[in-house]
Structure 1
Amino acid sequence: MGARAPRDQRKLPPGRHGIPADQVADDQRGRIIAAVVAAVGERGYADATVEDFTSRAGVSRKTFYQHFGNKQAAFLTAYDQVAERVVTAIRNAYSAHDDYVASARDALECTLRELAADPDAAMLGIVEVFAAGPEALRRRSEIIRKLTELITEQTRDLPQAAPGASFTAETIVGAVLEVLYNRVQRGEAGDLPDLLPDLLYCVIAPFLGHDRATEERAKAQHLPAS
């Protein structure tokens, strides 16, 4: 999902410290992005302020505006990092297997674990993106497109794949995101890994049928906790 949001941000020492300017800038930018994730995750996009970001990051308003034009620009950068972290994990899971079931199981498992480990990032990336304006929604749509293409490619050669496989994949992505939205909005991000068996059934059944999906759901219920 990029930018995690530790509560204790380590700042570079003030004054002359001999650290290259680009390293200082990277450190400041990273702290601001982490602060955005924490503030938006806790307060929501509408209520989070630039002052929230600067105080959490330990930087001045001047420093903030050296890196970001406004609150939304900082949010979009944080969102991109959060989303890329998840998409990369899913892409790696799909590329590790030729089998759709194994790919889907690993992709779901790593996604749910990643979101549960960082509830603020889950809130920012899944819930608060809807409050951040048209550009944020456009980027969300792009993520959905990427995930749809991954599933479509993985299921292309399945004997049961229907001509509308791409539409089916898009429907699966949308349904999973809706389930995650509801849980995260209720403050249940930490429990997301418990959804693995049922979500696995949902992403397998349209392509491999009820019987196979039920079998894999039962197996997922007995996976050891990671």
Structure 2
Amino acid sequence: MSKPTEAQEPLPEHRQRLLEAMSHAVAGKGYADTTINDIAALARVSKRTFYEHFGGKAQCLIALYEAASHQAIKVLRQSLDPRQDWHGQVEQTLRAYFETLASNPVLLRTLFIEILGLGTEGLAARRRVNRALADLIVEVVYAGQPKRVRSDPLVADMAMGIVGGINELVLQAIEADRVDRLAELTAPASRLVRAVTKVLEELS
């Protein structure tokens, strides 16, 4: 059977191919030097097909950022071991997170740094991802607590603070060219979670 033509392939497959093309393009050339022609050529689709899915290069990067982030969160959830207490789960999950980030260092730099330069739309996407990570932290740390505790606004805000702190540790590692050693952040990040949780317990 011959390979389906571009017009015959379902649009979701085109979108996936465009995201993969964006990933390869920015890994090879960086976001600033990547063009829509580059992305379309790597995805083996027309520019018209690109614009059927994305309004421009920035929107494609945001979609890639969210897809990559959701995949990382999926890895985190799969790494959870209910047999461990929350301290062990947090450490194991953070290690899996850092190892996932370090698996593609060039793309990591692009997603963590370039997303900040896309204006309000990029910041909104970053905040959505941060909220999903914060929700996961609350889920792990407060798994045995009543719903009213887990939904306390202070708990949610402090969890976002933890995510912000972890992001800064990652950015610092990127700037220092230590992406290959991201797993070393597991210990300080775990201590941060424990310290913030202890403060919340004292306030409650």
The two structures, once aligned, show a CA RMSD in angstroms of 3.1
1:84 deviation in Å? 0.5
Task: Give unmatched runs, 5+ long, in structure 1.
Answer: 1-12, 210-226
The worse-fitting range, judged by mean Cα deviation, of 147-156 and 170-179 is 147-156
CA offsets 1:96-155 (integer angstroms, 9 cap, x no match): 456211221121111111111122332233222101221121111112222222222333
Please say if residues 105 and 200 of structure 1, whose CA atoms lie closer than 8 Å, have aligned partners that are also in contact: yes
* Matched residue, 2:155: 165
1:20 deviation in Å? 9.1
1:70 deviation in Å? 1.6
* Matched residue, 2:60: 74
Please say if residues 66 and 129 of structure 2, whose CA atoms lie closer than 8 Å, have aligned partners that are also in contact: no
1:30 deviation in Å? 2.5
CA distance in structure 2 between the partners assigned to 1:132 and 1:96 by the alignment: 39
* Matched residue, 1:4: none
* Matched residue, 2:168: 178
Please say if residues 6 and 45 of structure 2, whose CA atoms lie closer than 8 Å, have aligned partners that are also in contact: no
**Structure with greater proportional helix content:** 2
**Which runs of structure 2 are paired with 1:2-13 in the superposition (5 Å)?**
none
Question: What TM-score does the superposition give when structure 2 sets the normalisation length?
Answer: 0.76
* Matched residue, 2:104: 118
Question: What TM-score does the superposition give when structure 1 sets the normalisation length?
Answer: 0.70
Please say if residues 155 and 165 of structure 1, whose CA atoms lie closer than 8 Å, have aligned partners that are also in contact: no
Q: Secondary structure at the match of 1:17?
A: coil
Please say if residues 108 and 200 of structure 1, whose CA atoms lie closer than 8 Å, have aligned partners that are also in contact: yes
1:166 alignment partner AA: A
* Matched residue, 2:17: 31
Query: For residues 86 and 26 of structure 1, do their structure 2 counterparts lie closer, same or farther at Cα, with a shift above 3 Å needed?
Result: same
Please say if residues 102 and 108 of structure 2, whose CA atoms lie closer than 8 Å, have aligned partners that are also in contact: yes
1:208 deviation in Å? 5.1
2:67 alignment partner AA: Q
**Which runs of structure 2 are paired with 1:43-58 in the superposition (5 Å)?**
43-58=29-44
Match status 1:89 vs 2:75: yes
Please say if residues 19 and 64 of structure 2, whose CA atoms lie closer than 8 Å, have aligned partners that are also in contact: yes
1:61 deviation in Å? 2.3
Task: Give unmatched runs, 5+ long, in structure 2.
Answer: 200-204
Identity %: 25
Query: For residues 126 and 56 of structure 1, do their structure 2 counterparts lie closer, same or farther at Cα, with a shift above 3 Å needed?
Result: same
* Matched residue, 2:192: 202
1:171 alignment partner AA: G
Q: Secondary structure at the match of 1:59?
A: coil
How many residues align structurally?
192
CA distance in structure 2 between the partners assigned to 1:20 and 1:70 by the alignment: 20
* Matched residue, 1:146: 132
Q: Secondary structure at the match of 2:101?
A: helix
